[in-house]
Amino acid sequence: MHQLISFTSDYTRYVLKGGTKFYAWMGSLSVLILAMFYVFYLQNTDGLIVTGMTSQISDGLYLANLVFLVGVAAGAVTIVFPAYVYHHEGMHKVAVLGEMLAISAVIMVMVFVFAHMGRPDRLWHMIPPRGIYSFSSMLGWDVMVLNGYLVLNAICGFYYLWCKYTGNPVNRKWFIPLVYVAIAWALSIHTVTAFLMANNPARPMWFHSMMPIRFIATAFAAGPALIILIFLVIRKNTSFWVDDSAIKLLTTIVQFCLGIAIFLTLSEVVVELYARTEHANGLYYLMFGLHGLTGLVPWFWSSVVLMVGAFVMLFMPSFRNDFNKLQIPCAMAFAGIWIEKGMGLIVPGYIPSPIGEVTEYHPSFVEWLLTLGIWAFGFFILTILLKGAIGILLGEVKYGGQAAAAK
């Protein structure tokens, strides 16, 4: 008990102290978080009319980010898997950081769930015993697996940190099985999210069985791409050293999965556009526009350029091996997949509508603001979690040690 109190207080004190750069970063995130609360207030007084959503296009930016971030959360498994299954030395050292990323991403997903709902005040309707849980609903399953993933990662991550902090050995008897469960669970969250979209015959753009594997492939490209970017920031700004071997393995994973994602996209394009039935209208609208409406065309082609560009760049040793330049293809892959899975997948599912009406979706200013705010909220949490984890890994926060001196 005494250990727990000192853990909490040491951890809190450590993560709250920092240099000017740290406070500037957290301060600017806080401004965006305030904006987030303001837009939440608007949405829960005026309603979702303040967004660009309509009865035709009933979901947009929020669902897009939700789907993408589930992928980022699942992508954390690209660290945990090599670390615990293949005992990769460099990965094992940083596995807990992956778990911290997963926690932050799942929290962001949950805030996006709130954002896209008409009545977030009634969320308790989903929770038994007072509420009703429906096993036939994919959204019900999605909420369940996401919460499970959050709990698993919180347990695995913080138990590991706790052991490091107190100096006790990790109890491998239940810890390792739990890590394996978390690895399988990571696949489940994104698969269920894919089913959430794909199980709708009413929406031909989503209604194909390629969706889960495509989601996993893009997730395992976007997730590690973000992790590489974060690792490079950590190497630059803290005394914590992420091994080259870890970054190199992640780079390989990004490239392979990016290649698979591009291949799957191309397959879809060929299959849909060869016959060009009415069911291809959504994809056609996305790629070329339909009935003179071309709102998503620049999105699609910029995503293609970003993804293919990143894939090609990762072939070049000058990018792959130079950690100053590696950020470029990683950022490109991340942005490309954000578009491909977000605006490029969710929105054309609604265009044309099931009765064939073609309308366009223009996210409103507050919609962008809320999206940005939720990302800022996520990065706020991520910064705290990573800072705490690194402090413990470095031994700067330690049970019995003098009050942690943060730098």
- Residues in contact with another protein by CB under 8 A are 46-49, 53-56, 58-59, 116-123, 125-126, 130-134, 136-140, 143, 196-197, 199-203, 276, 291, 349, 352-358
> What's the closest the beta carbon of residue 378 comes to another protein, in angstroms?
21
**CB-nearer residue toward another protein: 166 or 359:** 359
> What's the closest the beta carbon of residue 200 comes to another protein, in angstroms?
5
Q: Residue by residue, what is the 3-state secondary structure of 292-352?
A: CECCCHHHHHHHHHHHHHHHHHHHCHHHHCCCCCCHHHHHHHHHHHHHHHCCCCCHHHHCC
353's CB contacts (< 8 A; 6+ apart) are 56, 359
**CB-nearer residue toward another protein: 280 or 386:** 280
**CB-nearer residue toward another protein: 46 or 89:** 46
**CB-nearer residue toward another protein: 200 or 327:** 200
> What's the closest the beta carbon of residue 201 comes to another protein, in angstroms?
5
Report residue 293: phi and psi, to 5°: -100, 125
**CB-nearer residue toward another protein: 90 or 349:** 349
The SS3 assignment for 47 reads: coil
Q: Which residue has the tokens 């369940």?
A: 144
* Beta-carbon count within 10 A of 361 CB: 21
291's CB contacts (< 8 A; 6+ apart) are 358
Distance CA 338, CA 335 (A): 5
> What's the closest the beta carbon of residue 175 comes to another protein, in angstroms?
33
**CB-nearer residue toward another protein: 163 or 293:** 293
> What's the closest the beta carbon of residue 53 comes to another protein, in angstroms?
7
**CB-nearer residue toward another protein: 26 or 53:** 53
> What's the closest the beta carbon of residue 268 comes to another protein, in angstroms?
19
Q: How many alpha carbons fall within 13 Å on the CB side of residue 385?
A: 22
> What's the closest the beta carbon of residue 59 comes to another protein, in angstroms?
6
Q: Are 361 and 351 in contact (CB under 8 A)?
A: yes
DSSP string of 213-253, one letter each residue: HHHHHHHHHHHHHHHHHHHHHHHHHSS----HHHHHHHHHH
